[in-house]
Chains A and B, each alone.
Chain A
Amino acid sequence: MLPMSVLRATCSRLSCIGVTHRGQMNLSLFSNTAPSNWSKVVSEAEKIVGYPTSFMSLRCLLSDELSNVAMHVRKLVGTKHPLLNTARGFVYDSRNNLQMRGLVILLLSKAAGPSSQSAPDLQPQDMVSGIYPSQRNLAEIAELIHTAFLVHRGVVNLKEWSNDGQLKDMQFGNKMAVLSGDFLLANACTGLAQLNNTKVVELISSAIGDLVQGVYYESSPNLQDSNPGDIIDVDVWEEQTFLSHGALLAKSCQAAMELAKHKPESQRLAYTYGKHLSLGHQLHADLQPFVAGGGGAPAAFSLNSCPAVLHRQIVGQDKWQQQLEEAKAFKDQLDYSMLWAAIKSERGVSSAVDLCRYHGNKALEAIQAFPPSEARSALENITGAVTKF
Chain B
Amino acid sequence: MAVPWRHCWRWSITNCTKTRLSNYAVFSTLSPRGPGPIAGGAQQEVLPSTHPVNFKYTFPRHKPRKLWPASQLRCCKKIHSDTKLKDPFSLAQKDLAHLYDDIKKELYVSGAELRSLCDYYFDGKGKAFRPMIVVLMARALNIHSNSKGTDLLPGQRSVAMISEMIHTASLVHDDVIDGSDQRRGKSTINDMWGERKAILAGDFILSAASMALARIGNTTVVSVLSQVIEDLVRGEFMQMGSKENENERFKHYLDKTFKKTASLIANSCRAVSILVNSDPEVHEIAFQYGKNVGIAFQLVDDVLDFTACAAHLGKPSAADLKLGLATGPVLFACQQFPELHSMIMRRFSSQGDVERAWQYVLESDGVEQTSYLARHYCDEAVRQVSRLRPSPERDALIRLTEMVLTRDK
Query: Are B196 and A156 touching (Cβ within 8 A)?
Result: yes
Choose the segment among B46-54, B60-68, B218-226 that binds chain A (4+ C-beta atoms closer than 8 Å).
Answer: B218-226
- For window 87-140 of chain B, which residues contact chain A by CB distance below 8 Å? 109-111, 113-114
Proximity bits, A210-221, B CB within 8 Å = 1, else 0: 001101110000
Query: Are B194 and A199 touching (Cβ within 8 A)?
Result: no
Query: Are B196 and A68 touching (Cβ within 8 A)?
Result: no
Name the CB-closest residue of A to B234: A65
Does B282 belong to the interface (CB within 8 Å)?
Answer: no
- What's the interface size class on A, roughly? 35 or more
Query: Are B207 and A152 touching (Cβ within 8 A)?
Result: no
Does B362 belong to the interface (CB within 8 Å)?
Answer: no
User: Chain A contacts of B319 at CB under 8 A?
Assistant: none
Query: Are B111 and A193 touching (Cβ within 8 A)?
Result: no
Name the CB-closest residue of B to A171: B179
A-B pair count, CB < 8 Å, reads: 129
Q: How far is the CB of B286 from chain A (nearest CB, A)?
A: 19
* Assembled-state Cα–Cα distance A153/B114 (Å): 15
User: Chain A contacts of B229 at CB under 8 A?
Assistant: 185-186, 189-190
Q: By DSSP majority rule, is chain B's interface helix, strand, loop, or mixed?
A: helix
Query: Are B176 and A217 touching (Cβ within 8 A)?
Result: no
Choose the segment among A50-58, A200-208, A329-337 that binds chain B (4+ C-beta atoms closer than 8 Å).
Answer: A200-208
Q: How far is the CB of B119 from chain A (nearest CB, A)?
A: 15
Query: Are B241 and A68 touching (Cβ within 8 A)?
Result: yes
User: Chain B contacts of A201 at CB under 8 A?
Assistant: 210, 213-214, 222
Contact of A212 among B203, B216, B227 (CB under 8 A): B203
Query: Are A216 and B200 touching (Cβ within 8 A)?
Result: yes
Query: Are B237 and A198 touching (Cβ within 8 A)?
Result: no
Residue contacts A-B, CB under 8 angstroms, 25 given: A152-B200, A152-B203, A153-B196, A155-B196, A156-B195, A159-B194, A175-B177, A178-B173, A178-B177, A178-B199, A183-B237, A185-B229, A186-B230, A187-B230, A192-B210, A192-B222, A193-B227, A197-B219, A205-B207, A206-B207, A208-B207, A215-B200, A216-B111, A216-B113, A217-B111
Contact of A189 among B179, B219, B226 (CB under 8 A): B226
* Assembled-state Cα–Cα distance A233/B190 (Å): 31
User: Chain A contacts of B217 at CB under 8 A?
Assistant: 198
Contact of A213 among B111, B196, B215 (CB under 8 A): B111
Q: How far is the CB of A340 from chain B (nearest CB, A)?
A: 29
* Assembled-state Cα–Cα distance A181/B207 (Å): 14
Contact of A185 among B203, B214, B227, B240 (CB under 8 A): B203
- For window 361-406 of chain B, which residues contact chain A by CB distance below 8 Å? none
* Assembled-state Cα–Cα distance A183/B236 (Å): 10
